[in-house]
Amino acid sequence: MQKIRCAIAGANGRMGKTLVEAVLATPDVELAAAFDIGDDVEAALAGADCLIDFTRPEGTLQHLDICRRLGVHAIIGTTGFSLEQKQQIEAVARDIPIVFAPNMAVGVNVVFKLLDTTARILNEGYDVEIIEAHHRHKIDAPSGTALRMGEVVAAALGRNLAECAVYGREGHTGERPAPQIGFATVRGGDIVGDHTVLFAGTGERVEITHKAASRMPYALGSLRAARFLREKTNGLFDMQDVLGLR
């Protein structure tokens, strides 16, 4: 079978360099292009089957417009999109196939599945708190992964995350309302990405944790997404689709 020709956006960044390394080490994938800010994106994508993009929302959306014009598949690991920007991605997916996920790591997506099951079982008498930690350079908070964890848990509990989420506490906050889902954010050093969801009950607590020791799991998951899209013509998918976890 012909190799998948992947183009990497943000190639000079931390994640971009890891993606290039992963592509070069993977037999069924080849590097079509690696580009960064100021490069000719259209020329870079002209010879590609798919784009892997872990940059910033505005840049990713510009790249997607070119992908749509050229018929290039897209794997989006960028986080921090607004609701309107997510709707733009949905519109593009009517013309090309896209995998859009807040975290491409296989282990994290297994955790999403575990959280759904756990929340359905621990649906009474347990308070839910989500704690995440990343390196000092991360520009959005909470992380896209933490927010997705909150969405999964809220959906399993029949709650609307927008109505029950609390993003930090300070001062005299009063007693914790039972429906709340709390988020705590840590930023420092070179932490790649740690996420813990805590279900705290009376006399016990359950903690589900994922810790990334490097960025390679995100890159390897992205390549699985590229294989998944090979035969697709359009549609919006996430890593749950890629891994058959629906």
Q: Which residues are catalytic?
A: 134, 138
The DSSP output letter for 188 is -
Q: Which two tokens stand for residue 140?
A: 């959005």
Q: Which two tokens stand for residue 50?
A: 């798919």
Report whether 52 contacts 29 (CB < 8 A). no
CA distance 45 to 74: 11
Alpha helix stretches (DSSP H) within the chain: 14-24, 41-45, 57-70, 83-92, 106-121, 144-157, 161-164, 216-229, 239-242
Contacts of 92 (CB under 8 A, 6+ apart): 64, 65, 67, 68, 74, 98
**Residues paired with residue 235 on neighbouring β-strands, in sequence order:** 97
The Cα-based distances of 189 to 82, 108, 137, 138 in angstroms read 27, 22, 8, 10
**Residues paired with residue 130 on neighbouring β-strands, in sequence order:** 183, 197
CA distance 80 to 57: 7
Q: Which two tokens stand for residue 226?
A: 């590229």
Report whether 21 contacts 13 (CB < 8 A). no
